Amino acid sequence: MTSRREFLKNAGLGATVAAGATTLAAPAVLAQAPIKWRLQTYAGPALGEHVIKPAIDAFNAAANGQMEIELFYADQLVPTSELFRAMQKGTIDAVQSDDDSMASPTEVTVFGGYFPFATRYSLDVPVLFNQYGLKEIWEEEYARVGVKHISAGAWDPCHFATKDPINSLADLKGKRIFTFPTAGRFLSQFGVVPVTLPWEDIQTAVQTGELDGIAWSGITEDYTVGWADVTKYFLTNNISGAWIGHFFANMERWNELPDHLKIMLQLAMDSSHLYRQWWYWGGEADLRVNGTKLQLTSIPDEEWATVETAAAKFWEEIAAESETKAKVVEIIKKYNAAMAKAGRPYRYG
């Protein structure tokens, strides 16, 4: 019969042996080279300091050597219009852009950037994606073409910054304006001449007279990237309250990541979206009030209402192009109708 002393001694020995066996059986953790990604943004360096760099720096620090994202700015590796194809082929691993600028071949491309009057405020974008179903539509559309749609977020509203004052719709006629493809398509009915140029050439093009103005951003961006230095006037009317931009990745590269790095990437992108929301929102008000470079002009509300009416017609034209586009337009219409019924602060007037 085993004594208490022998039992305790043998139990201790067994535990020690078991612990040793566990230690010996544990796999060795070998140092591995970090996963390397290359991400190119639509934004130039000055704008990139705000719309992307803080999130990438934070991700690289948090990844603790397991992964590193190298950031490239507009047109550094490939022209912005070739971003999608380069990512799809794996030439670059990830992209920050709107669908429109990167010439995405999906049914939802026309809604990227500034789809006229679809949004009034920056919070409209995450609500449309996360509560009204746009997220699932974008994910499905991009999965078809081998691209992971990581997340969507809001940027700034779309205003005109011009060399000559705009006080009526007639003042827009003949103006050569740098803008997004879909915005240009819509604005052309008011006499605007859309011009496409590399992002870094815009300031010089305004100075040389190749451009009369820009309809690409709000006033925060005009000041940040130097466009306020070459234009004189800022039109307070806008055709959209928030740019819709996204983060994308090559699907194979995304699938190769361990789950914890996917989560970290998602968190970094969400952080980036939040940064832009307050940075743009505060800047738009502050620079209208305290900015010294741009004089504010406005088109009367009753005249601008004709532009909103034209946007509703434009929506129907887009909806008629495909079943998917019709589905997105229906969601946008449903959302805006709900916001109008909700009233202040969701919609005014």
Cα gap 179→168, rounded to integer Å = 19
pLDDT of residue 8: 41
The pTM of this model reads 0.88
Class of domain 159-241+292-342: alpha beta
Which of these, 289, 266, 336, lies nearest to 120 by C-alpha position? 336
Strand order in the sheet with 147-154: 67-72, 35-41, 94-97, 244-250, 147-154
Superfamily of domain 35-154+243-288: Bacterial extracellular solute-binding protein, family 7 (3.40.190.170)
Q: How high is the pLDDT of residue 14? A: 47
- Residue 106 to residue 321: CA distance in whole angstroms: 12
The pLDDT score that the predictor gives to residue 199 is: 86
| Cα dist from 195 to 111, 133, 206, 297, whole Å | 19, 33, 11, 23
Per-residue pLDDT of the chain (349 residues; tens, 9 = 90+): 444 344 344 444 444 444 444 444 444 334 578 999 999 999 999 999 999 999 999 999 999 999 999 999 999 999 999 999 999 999 999 999 999 999 999 999 999 999 999 999 999 999 999 999 999 999 999 999 999 999 999 999 999 999 999 999 999 999 999 999 999 999 999 999 999 998 889 999 999 999 999 999 999 999 999 999 999 999 999 999 999 999 999 999 999 999 999 999 999 999 999 999 999 999 999 999 999 999 999 999 999 999 999 999 999 999 999 999 999 999 999 999 999 999 999 998 6
d(CA 254, CA 267): 15
The domain spans of the chain are: 35-154+243-288, 159-241+292-342
For residue 237, the Cα-to-chain-centroid distance in whole angstroms is: 22
Torsion of CA 332, 102, 162, 310, to 10 degrees: -30
Decide whether 35-154+243-288 matches 159-241+292-342 in CATH topology: yes
Alpha helix stretches (DSSP H) within 131-229: 134-143, 181-187, 202-208, 219-225
CA distances from 171 to 48, 184, 298 (A): 32, 16, 11
Residue 79 burial (10 A CB sphere; 0-12, 13-18, 19+):
middle
Position 34 scores a pLDDT of: 94
Q: Token pair of 284, please?
A: 């738009």
Instruction: List the helix and strand counts (H, then E) for the chain.
Output: 13, 11
Give the residue among 251, 300, 263 at the shortest CA–CA distance from 95. 251
Predicted pLDDT at 349: 63
pLDDT of residue 16: 45
pLDDT digits (tens, 9 = 90+) for 90-144: 999 999 999 999 999 999 999 999 999 999 999 999 999 999 999 999 999 999 9
Question: β-pairing, 176-179 with 213-217?
Answer: parallel
End-to-end CA distance of the chain: 92
